[in-house]
Structures are given as C-alpha cells and as structure tokens.
Chain A
Amino acid sequence: MNDVMNKTEEIVKKAKSLGADEVLAKTTYGRYRQVRFSNNQVDITVAWNDYTTDVTLAWKRRLVGTTIHDFKGVDSGLANLMELAKVSKENPMFGGFVKGKFRYATPKPDKKLEELENPTDYVFEAIEAAKKETGPDIDSGGILLTRYEDVYLASSEGPVGVDARSAIEFSIRAFAQREASGHSVECSSTLKDFKPARAGTKAGQLAKMAKNPKVGDEGAYDVIFDPLIFGSSLGTWGGMASAYSILIQMSVFVNKLGQTVAPKIVTLRDNPAAYAMGNRVFDDEGAPARENVIIDHGVLKGFLHNNSTAKIFKTETTGNAGLVAPNAWNIEMDAGNVSKDELFKDTKKGLYLTNTWYTRFQNYAKGDFSTIPRDGIFLIENGEIKQSIKDLRVSDNSAAMLNNIAAVSKERQHVHWWGEADPPSLSPYVLIKNVHLTKSK
C-alpha cells in the first residue's frame, strides 16, 4: 500500500519538476463485482478490476488531465501532459487546487466486500422473500453490485491521503403480473447492514398490491412518494445544488441563495457519511469531505463547491470536487415528525408512487419536467389503498414540487438505483400537494 502511495506522490513530484504549477494525482485500485438476474435466474456475473491514476495539472491557469494505468508510461504521460498544457488556453476561472495539510476521518470500509464469496446466495435470498409475498409464479430481475476501492491522493498543494471505500447495492423488480410490478433496493457500505430479503419482501408486496391495474385519470393529486422515487427528486435537487449547475443555468436554485425555496419541514444535506454508498473522507482535490447543509428549514443555505467554484462564489470549498464540476455525494433529507402510516391515514384522496424513470427537463432553470412512474402506482382514498393504477406521467415543475412538500416521514431509507435515483440518498416518505399527472391520448 505504501508503495502505491509512494508512486502516486512520485508522479506529483515528477510533474512539478517538469514545470507544472500545481499537480493532483489520484490512484484508484477498484474491484467491482456484479450479479445480474432476470426471470428468477442469474444471467451473468461480471467482475472488473481497475488500476488507474488520474493526473491533473495546472500551468499558467491551463488545466489539463490524463489517466495512467498500472503506473505504466508515467514519464511519457507526464511529458505529453505538460506539452498539452503549454498549447492549451488559460482558464481565468481556475482558482487553484485546495491548499493545506488536512487530517482526514478514518475510513471504515468493509473488507468482506473486497471479494464476496457466493454473491448469488444474496440474490436467491431476495427472490425467495419476494416469492413468499406473492407466490411462486413471481418473475423477478435485478442486480447485486459490490464495490471496493482503495484510493491514494497526493497534491502539490499539501493534501496527501488514503481512503478505502466499500459499497453493496441490490435492486429487485418483481412482477406478479405482466403489468403488476414492485421495485425495491437495499444499499449499504457494509455487509453487516445489508439485508437483501428486505428488498425482496417489499418488491413482492408492491407487486401483489399492483395486480389488475387500471389506467389512471389525469389531474392534480396529493401524492405520497416512496423513498425510492423520492430519491430521484433528491438526486435532482442535489445535482442542482452543485455550483457548476448554477453557473451553467442547469438549476432552479439560480439567484435563490438565502431565499425560501421549500417549507420549514425541509432540510437537505449532502453527507458522505460512513453508512452511505457515497462514503469518502476526501474529495478529488484532497479537501476533507464533510456534511454540508443545502436547504435549512426551507431556506437555500449553500451550494456544493470545489476550490475554483468557491472562489467564483466568494466562499470556501465544501469538499465536493470534481475538478470541473462539484458533485453531491449522498443527499440526506432530515426526518419529519409523522410516521409513514400516519401519512397514508391522513390522505383522503391521492396517489402513492413507488418508482420512476426517464426524468427529462424542458428547462432546468425554470424546472419544468416530466418523469414516468413505474412499478406500483396506487390510488389512495380515505387513508387506504383502493386501486392499482398504470400509465400515468408526472408532468410538473421541480421548484414547485419542492415548495409543495406538505409532510415528511420519520422513517428513512438509504436508496440508490441505476441512474434514476442517483447520487445515493437517505430518503423519507414524503407527501407533496398538487402534483400534476398526465396520460396518453
């Protein structure tokens, strides 16, 4: 391990000796294992190993980068990079990499996720749990993914650090009928807290409830969002909190800093905590990764920054670099004060949405978008689920939906699914008023 760190630091020194003003090198040794299944059987098990060092350097405010594999061709790679810097163009907005020596939190990876024995057992455990809910004829598919990364970072500006990041995620979609499905996920940074049967059970329950759906009616509804589908909204708002999204107008938060953007019950943070799939102790510049409040009791408090965007916004880095664009690592919504059951009980007429996909915007700055709920969609009447629904689309506005949050549950779930509920989040059940749904004509 020391050898890898030494080689990473050596790259920084070599680039400096070639004339670079500032240099960052990040070596990642990644082991990724994935089981994909459908029709209740394993389709393929995939394993990929990655040995990369990402090198970024600045010369007279020209920012250039490359990737070196397995420490091969370091000298020529750096020489080429310096040549590229010399013919590149100045970026006047480049604020330098973060400076200083930092003490990082101790990483807490789960070594058991480095090479999981018999990962298919977890898949079958979940399928059996789904079957228990819905019967043997259930048809299910999904993925199990484990990720284990050793990360070594060295910067000419001071930061030096070692991180180890582990994660496991499981996603299962269960069909009780051709158009009756339930989808659930189980996400964790450790095996100890990973319970795939929990996802199987919920997917099975939703699939059973979703049987015999009817085409829904267009209109404005009070909608209870399941943690999985709400994770998609949290991901959208988290992405819009990146300072880069503000600069390029891909955000409803442009010119809204310090303003009320949501009711008081809404507090949103980015927190790459140890439990989370997005766990890390430093960002891509070597700034300590930390908890940042984005929305505090409805008021937009801050954006997510790297060192350069922080300088543009006259603030400090939040530990979210991305070298060009800052990233959210793990969005948390603070728990509310009602239980999930109370949320349903108090809904006279509304919908319960469980998952979505294909979220697309007309205009990110305005927030107009649509997304297609999939899997269980349910009509709620007088606090009870009355009917399974299909073929509806949420066609609304992202800023308006944030502002129309009416209740947040005490219960929260750590969710991540594909590119749809991404980045990972800690997501509650949420009631949003006056959500517009449309359908095909």
Chain B
Amino acid sequence: MEEDIVDFALKYAEGKGVEYAEARAQSQQRDQLVFRSGILEAYTSAVDSGFCVRILAGGGIGFASTNKWTKEEAKAIVDLAFKHAKAAGRKDKIVFAKEKGVETKWSVTQKRKLEDVSPEERIATFVDIDKALASCGVKLPATVSQCMIDLISKYFVSSEGSKISSFVPKMQVYSFITVAEEGKTEQAYKQFGYSGGWEAFKEWGIAESMIHDARVLKDVITKGKAVKAGDMDLVCGPNVTGIAAHESCGHPMEADRIVGREMSQAGRSFIYKGGPYWLGTRIGSDVVTVVDDPTVEHSYGFYAYDDEGLKARRRHLYKNGLINEFLQNRESAAKLGMKGNASSRSVNYDREAIVRMANTFVLPGNHTEEEIIEDVKYGVFMKSFTEWNIDDKRFNQRYVGREAYLIENGELKDPIARPVIETTTLKFWSAVDAVSKKIEYEAATCGKGDPGQGIPVYTGGPCIRLRGVYVK
C-alpha cells in the first residue's frame, strides 16, 4: 500500500473545491482453500490492493476506485469522481453529518499469527476434520468446506483531517454437509468467523460441530416427527435468536433503508417517518433489548473505527422493547437530523461504504436455559434453523428448524422435523417472556449493496422463549 499516493489523491481532490473528500486504501492478502469430500480442490493466494476516492461536490456524490498504484491513476479517479458528483444535478443537496478528524492506528491482536501457519498445517487441519467426519457413523455423500484467511490493511484520510491506519487478520470457515439415510437426504451449513489469529480453530471445534450436525440430520430423517400445527410456546436457541435479531431488528434499523436509499435492492423498512413505527414505538416485550456492537473483541464483525473514520461504539437498537437508535452513516444521519454512530462499512476499496451491522444480538437476561425449558408445558425447542427469509420491509419472516425438539411438561422429547415459525416482527418480539443469561455468538456474512458487499458479522445471542406463537 503506497500511502503517499493516497495522500496525493486526497490533496488533489481538495484542490478542486469540494465540500468533502476522502481517500481509502485497502490491501488484502487472501488465502482460500476449497475442499470437497476431503479433496483439496484448489488453494488460492492473492493480494488485492487498491484505493478509492469519495467526493461530495455540488450536493452530489462521486466515487471512483482503481487497483493501479500511480499518481496519474489517482488524478484520473479524482477527476472522474468529481465529474460524477457535479453531474448528479440533485434538487435536495446531500450533506454529511459533521465529525472531527481523527489521527490513529489500530489493529487486532493474534495469539498465533495467521502468517506463521504454513499452508501444510492449514491443509492438514481440514484433512483431519474430514477424517473425523468420515468415521462418525453417518452416511455423508457430499461435504464442502471453504476456508478464507485474510490479512486486511486499510488507510483512510479525509478532508476533515482524519488519518487512520488499521490491520485486521480475519478467518472464516464455511461447511456444508449432506446426510443420506433410508433413501432420504437432509442438509446443513455452518459458518465460523473470527478476527484474530489461528487460535480460533481450537475454539471453533469444527469437526465436533459438523459431526453433531450430521448426527442431528440423521435423527431428523430416522426419528423426526412433524409438529401438530397450532399455538404453542417456542424456545429459540442462540442460532435462531441471532438470525431473528439480525433480520427483524438490525436490518430495519439501518437508516439508509429508512430514508429510502436502498429502496430498489435491499428494500425499505417498516420503520419510517409518519408511519406506525418510529423511535420510541413499542416493537417487543420489556425483556427484549437488541444491540449492535462492533467493539466485541475478536468478533467477526469487529472494528474500532468505521469506514468514514468514526469511533465504534455499542448501539441499543431495540431497548426494553422500544425502537431506540438507528444504525447511521453520515449521509443518513444528516438527512434525519441525527448524529452518525459509526455504522458505515465497505467490504473493499472498490465499494462505497454503506450502513451495515457489525455484531447484532439480544442482550442476556436472568434465566438459565433449563429454567426457560422447564416452564414450557407444550412447545418446541428450535435450536438451529435452515431455510429462512424476511420481506424487504423486514416485517414478515420465516424460520425453519434444523435441530428441533418437542417440549412436554418442561422436558425435551423427540426430534421434530422442520418446524416452521412464520410471523411478523411485532408478534415475534412481543411474544418473548424470558431470555437466558448465557450468550453464544454465531458468525455470518450479511448481504447488502449493489454490487453485493458480503460483510462479516456476528449474530447469535441468548436462548429466548416465545409464548403462544403459531408453529407448524
């Protein structure tokens, strides 16, 4: 990364009489291993390095990027971004919420550096996982594992005087298994993610997790029964609580959706000015507090400063059941007359930073998981989910159980095959009456933006109990 070229780009942009300019560089070393049924299909290792400029001029925004590291190219992209900003021809001029410039450096520590782990050891780790799977006593006609190891350096400068350097090592593993028993199949996927070093592998327990899923799927095929549809209590495991928090709290609280900036692709929100839901409106029970927190150390969605140079902090999105604080970037904050809160993220130098979640989860309550289940006469424990989706106003959602059990008189009974909850955001969060003390995070890649920007996040959270919801 040639910081002098990035500084030059900013200086050149400032010379054009802009309202605001920033230059952001990213250099990302990515090693990727792709395994199919224990075979290493390919091992790729590459550095992607480039820089962008974003210019606010004449009330319009222009953005341009390149991976050619020359001053001539820097001038060319500034000229292009400036031209496009001026050509926007907006009636309502865009402004950014003002912030003080920051000069800092930050990084994520590693107990064992990813750079120090040889390709042989990386490969051997997955070969061992495959061996363990192959001997777990479940028929697996196909498994897929992908591992991505990233070393991400960024350099950000802005016309407000910011100069921020960062280094984040990141690692993720994605696994997908198919179980075949009695002529039927079931499938499961799982993602692991971490900001930090190789120590994550021990904490993850990938082989144990995949073997657990394989055995669960076998049980679903051989013992799973359909639930008798009706109103009942539903206990959601951290995996299900997490996806619900992400989809029906995190996303609708993104201010760019609320102001309509994402209306064509990711959609809008059920929350909008003049509508039935706004700041202070009740959306859940008193025990529901959902936060988005980029500062969870070593989390997959960790950052200390966002991609607009703002210091990260925890945001209380739903607080004791009330809509409390939106996720903002500087553009949305200015439009709503609010303050930015460091939610602007970009996946690479060639993508505009937009409003994103980091780590979204329900804050823990005061019950044990056992207490939550003990107090259910008849219901379902949906420990994990498979198929899921939500509409683009983020109100009608569906989660289908992957690992699920019947609860009778406070005890877990037989496995349930594919139970479904299909309900609204209001009904889901209003039905929650108990939250567990213990939290388990889950890694995920959140999709948004066009071109798509898959961004690392944590979901997960505590167990929660919903009273009297329709399960089929």
A residues adjacent to B (C-beta < 8 A): 34, 36, 38-39, 41-52, 56, 62-67, 69-70, 72, 80-81, 84, 87-93, 118, 120, 139-143, 171-173, 175, 178-179, 183, 247-250, 323-324, 357-366, 368-372, 374, 391, 393, 395, 418-419, 438-441
A143 pairs with B450, CB closer than 8 A? yes
Stretch at the interface among B78-86, B103-111, B203-211, B287-295: B78-86
Minimum-distance CB pairs A-B, first 7 = A45-B84, A358-B389, A67-B46, A141-B263, A141-B264, A65-B44, A249-B178
- CB contact list, B28-85 vs A, under 8 A: 34, 36, 39-50, 52, 60-69, 73, 77, 80-81, 84-85
Q: Which stretch of B117-125, B320-328, B367-375, B404-412 is in the interface?
A: B117-125
Which of B88-96, B150-158, B193-201 forms part of the interface with chain A? B88-96
Q: Given known contacts A47-B64, A70-B68, A143-B265, is B90 in contact with A42 (CB within 8 Å)?
A: yes
Contact at A38–B41, with CB atoms within 8 Å?
Answer: no
| Complex alpha-carbon distance, A170 and B142, angstroms | 39
B94 to chain A, nearest CB (A): 8
Residues of B contacting A366 with CB < 8 Å?
185
Measured between beta carbons, the chain B residues less than 8 angstroms from A324 are: 34, 41-42
A-B contact count (CB 8 A): 237
Looking at the complex, which of B4-12, B234-242, B304-312, B416-424 is the stretch in contact with chain A?
B416-424
What is the chain B residue whose CB lies nearest that of A422?
A: B452
Q: Kindly state the separation between the CA atoms of A30 and B66 in the bound complex, as whole angstroms.
A: 10
- Can you list 13 A-B pairs, Cβ within 8 angstroms, ordered by A? A47-B64, A47-B65, A50-B350, A66-B44, A67-B47, A69-B67, A72-B69, A89-B40, A91-B42, A171-B265, A175-B263, A391-B391, A393-B389
Residues of A within 8 A of B388 (CB): 360
- What 1/0 flags go to B116-145 for Cβ under 8 Å of A? 001110010001000000000000011010
B452 to chain A, nearest CB (A): 6
The answer to whether B260 touches A439, judged by C-beta atoms less than 8 angstroms apart, is: no
Query: Within 8 Å CB of A365, what residues of B?
Result: 178, 185, 187
The reply to whether A38 and B261 form a contact with Cβ atoms under 8 Å apart is yes
Task: Kindly identify which residue among A43, A45, A48, A249 contacts B142, using a CB–CB cutoff of 8 Å.
Answer: A249
A438 CA / B427 CA spacing, docked (Å):
17
Closest Cβ–Cβ distance, residue A158 to chain B (whole Å): 21
Q: Chain A: which residue is nearest B73 at the CB level? A: A49
Are B396 and A439 in touch, CB under 8 angstroms? Answer: yes
Q: Determine whether the beta carbon of A118 is less than 8 Å from that of B87.
A: yes
Quick one: closest A residue to B60, CB to CB? Answer: A42
Count chain B residues whose beta carbon lies closer than 8 angstroms to a beta carbon of A.
86
Is there contact, CB below 8 Å, between B264 and A143?
A: yes
Q: Which residues of B contact A395 (CB under 8 A)?
A: 398
As a 0/1 sequence over residues 429 to 463 of chain B, the CB contacts with chain A under 8 angstroms (1 = contact) are 00000000000000000010011100000000000
Contact A178 B88 (CB under 8 A): no
Q: By the criterion CB–CB under 8 Å, are A41 and B90 in contact?
A: yes
Chain B residues contacting A67 (CB-CB under 8 Å) are: 46-48
Task: Give CA–CA (A34, B80) in the complex, Å.
Answer: 12
B142 contacts A89, C-beta separation under 8 Å: no
CB-contact partner of A46 in B64, B66, B69, B144, under 8 A: B64
Residue of B nearest to A215 (CB): B396
**Interface flag for B272 (CB, 8 Å):** yes
Q: Does B22 contact A (CB under 8 A)?
A: no
